[in-house]
A and B are shown apart, each in its own frame.
Chain A
Amino acid sequence: MATRALLAVISASPSRCFISSSRIKIQSSVSSLSLNFQQHSRKIHRIARSYSSDTDSSLLQPPDVSRLAETARISLTPAEIEECETKIRRVIDWFGQLQQVDVNSVEPAIRAEMDGGNLREDSPETFENRDSIRASIPSFEEAYLKVPKILNKE
């Protein structure tokens, strides 16, 4: 959950300030960012911009962590906000660097290249360990997940 929450935070963050930014994907973990950046830099060159970008890193605004936390439905203490802010700012800064990569001669792609043929046959299989999935649901009653009363989707 923490993973997803932060992913959500990140995706929420720069969408406003990245207007007309290129499509960029990096794969990395927090602890080995620079290493991964190098590993993937060759690939990044192959991932093209869909639009030529006139954005430079100076336009990237610092993250509003409180708002991001709210969008991701997580509560953060002031100390956590401070901690996150530094980390997210680092991520945004990498994007600043990525903006500077010249990809004008590269053909645009909508996704990173992956090995093709990733489709599955439409034949059902029962997941054997369903009981343990259900057992791990915090509030499971009479065959249903029991959740706080829902009125609407806001």
Chain B
Amino acid sequence: MSTTLFRTIQLNQFTLLGTTLFRRRSNVVSVRCCGSQTTTTTHEAKQSSQSRVAPKNHKSNKLDEILKDYEAVIGIETHVQLSTSTKAFCSCSNNYGSYPNTSICPVCMGLPGALPVLNSKVVEFGVRLGLALNCDLSLKSKFDRKQYFYPDLPKGYQISQFDIPIASGGYVDLDIPLEFGGGHRRFGITRVHMEEDAGKSIHSDTGDYSQVDLNRAGVPLLEIVSEPDMRSGVEAAEYACEMQRIARYLGVSNGNMQEGSLRCDVNISIRPIGQAEFGTKVEIKNLNAFSAISRAIDYEISRQALLYNQGKADQIVTETRLWEEGAQKTVTMRKKEGLADYRYFPEPDLPEVILTQEYVDSIRASLPELPEAKRRRYEAMGLSMQDVLFLANDVTVAEYFEAVIGKGAEVKLAANWIMGDIAAYLKNEKLSINDMKLTPQELAELIAAIKDGTISGKIGKEILFELLAKGGTVKGMIKEKDLVQITDPAEIEKMVIKVVSENPKQLEQYRSGKTKLQGYFAGQIMKMSKGKANPGLLNKILLEKLNAKE
């Protein structure tokens, strides 16, 4: 027998902290790529929230009906894949999309004698996320082995943290969008722990084999476990959105759900209102988009309530269900018989993780402004909740917005331009705000030029689209194209007189009561001025001329 056979024997009694600790990996079926999420980061939350409501208004009514009698209790486990350069315990590169099985070494392949060494960045990201989620940090934590057998797990165990996670006991604050009822919520965070990812299994429909790519084996993850504080699909989806937002603000992950960089498993039970004990908990996997989280939960609430109503509550069993996007329903994946026995024990190959208070303090000092703080600050600036949620959703948009107002632009005007024409342009062109040719400086100039009357709003829009497409400066463009607004009343009056005299028929109709024709005249004059006439002055002078009795 090998000499390392009994190399380490370490036993530990772990209290049962609840089944959240006895979860299974989320990468069971490789159907991660079928989400329908958008690729334009600027609109992600908006669009997914729209798609959440759109197709099922009648169903929501049914759900409201159910929720008069039953309460749903929902908790979420979120796996955040970290955007480090290397894996958690070896120097293999952590690079999504590399050629299969090229980012491998003896450590992540689980070869005998290879020893893991923890990546300092993983600890840093763990502390960042722990602090951002208002958690207490464990100045001493440790790694444990979680043992299970699966072909994408070369070592036969996953290095994770079991009874002493790096962070625990936090919370997250968020705002529910108005279209879902609005309101502010606080959800508890049970814990955040460090662990490694498994490889990726690809299951062919044909053939009697599966394929495994181990590039992802050993890639660092942070698992965030929430308290069972959510009560609806919308709350759960907003919670997941906020996790993505925080991960992106912190720069610890790209949070991309299609690539599997952000994975959410939902635990849900329902109970008759007034009942103290929880109902039987069902786990839902394969949730590749925020809309899927919301819909899967609403479906599951309806399914379980129906069983209750039919007196078949005993048919609600502890199981894992999969969300089927095509059929818009959950289906049984496997029933659980008792708690899984992962035979956790402390990882003998890694020392404890020790954080000094100075280290924690330095990370705390380096944290960016977080989404919640940003939202509260934007709200205090007088922006509406809709504006606040849009601008704070994406940190790059927020930075742009702040740069524009930093150049002196009025807050509400800056918000309107960014959320209106600019957002539409970016969406059409599939660009991110960072790729845009219009600099914050020029947007501020543009807003100022309209506000001080140098150019009209209409010309402003034209300049905006020019700058978006080609770049350049507002001043340069105004000069080059001679776009300065005409504010000289005498000059405008000349044009008014000319247009009125050239349209005697329309003038007659106007004077006999068809006052809507004012718009026609205004349009003609504006055209003559090449859009440069000050609209207020134009209309004032035009009305005088039209209503003048000869």
Contacts and interface: CB of A to CB of B under 8 A. Distances in A.
Q: Do A and B come from one complex?
A: yes
Interface of A: 1-8, 10-12, 14-15, 18-21, 23-31, 33, 71, 73, 91, 95, 110-111, 114-116, 118-127, 130, 133-134, 140-150, 152-154
Contact of B92 (A21, A124, A152): A124
Contact of B25 (A27, A28, A153): A153
Contacts of B6: 6, 10, 28-30, 33, 91
Contacts of B91: 120, 123-125, 127
Given A29-B3, A111-B351, A143-B101, A120 B341 contact: no
Contacts of A124: 85-86, 91-94
Interface stretch (B9-17, B223-231, B246-254): B9-17
27 contacts: A2-B2, A3-B4, A12-B341, A25-B9, A25-B348, A30-B3, A30-B5, A30-B6, A110-B352, A118-B117, A118-B351, A122-B85, A122-B119, A124-B94, A130-B105, A133-B109, A134-B101, A140-B101, A142-B211, A145-B151, A145-B212, A147-B151, A147-B201, A148-B209, A148-B210, A150-B210, A153-B334
B11 A120 contact: no
Contacts of B140: 110
Given A119-B118, A145-B211, A15 B4 contact: no
B172 interface: no
A93 to B, nearest CB: 12
Contact of A11 (B7, B211, B343): B343
Interface in B120-161: 120-121, 123, 140-142, 145, 147-151, 155-157
A50 to B, nearest CB: 9
B203 A150 contact: yes
B288 interface: no
Interface string B212-228: 11100000000000000
Contacts of A141: 211
Given A25-B10, A26-B9, A119-B118, A8 B156 contact: yes
Contacts of B208: 148-149
Contacts, number: 203
A14 B85 CA distance: 40
B8 A122 contact: no
A144 B99 contact: no
In the complex, the 10 A-B pairs of residues with the closest C-beta atoms, listed nearest first = A127-B105, A144-B211, A122-B121, A124-B93, A114-B351, A119-B120, A111-B352, A125-B91, A147-B151, A145-B212
B109 A118 contact: no
A35 to B, nearest CB: 13
Given A23-B10, A119-B118, A152-B334, 6 more contacts: A2-B2, A11-B343, A12-B341, A126-B92, A145-B101, A150-B210
A3 B110 CA distance: 12
Contacts of B29: 152
B209 A118 contact: no
Contacts of B99: 143
Nearest to B95: A124
A134 B99 CA distance: 13
Nearest to B337: A154
A19 B16 CA distance: 11
Interface residues of B, number: 76
A130 B104 contact: yes
Contact of A144 (B101, B105, B117): B101
Contacts of A1: 156
Contact of A150 (B11, B13, B150, B164): B150
Interface in B487-539: none
Contacts of A145: 101, 151, 211-214
Contacts of B54: none
Contact of B9 (A71, A91, A119): A91
B255 interface: no
A24 B10 contact: yes
Contacts of B141: 110
A23 B201 contact: no
Nearest to A110: B142
A26 B157 CA distance: 20
Contacts of B350: 118
A116 B354 contact: yes
Contacts of B4: 3, 29
| Most-contacted residue by chain B among A6, A31, A118 (CB, 10 A) | A118
A118 B354 CA distance: 10
B333 interface: yes
Nearest to A55: B13
B401 interface: no
A133 B210 contact: no
B295 to A, nearest CB: 23
Nearest to B14: A15
B8 A25 contact: yes
B128 to A, nearest CB: 14
A64 to B, nearest CB: 13
B47 interface: no
Contact of B119 (A2, A3, A119): A119
B140 to A, nearest CB: 6
A148 to B, nearest CB: 6
Contacts of A144: 100-101, 202, 211-213
Nearest to A150: B210
B327 interface: no
Contacts of B118: 118-120
Contact of B7 (A28, A133, A140, A146): A28
A20 B94 CA distance: 40
Contacts of B147: 8, 11
A120 B119 contact: yes
B112 interface: yes
Contacts of B485: none
Contact of A153 (B24, B112, B157, B214): B24
A64 B201 CA distance: 33
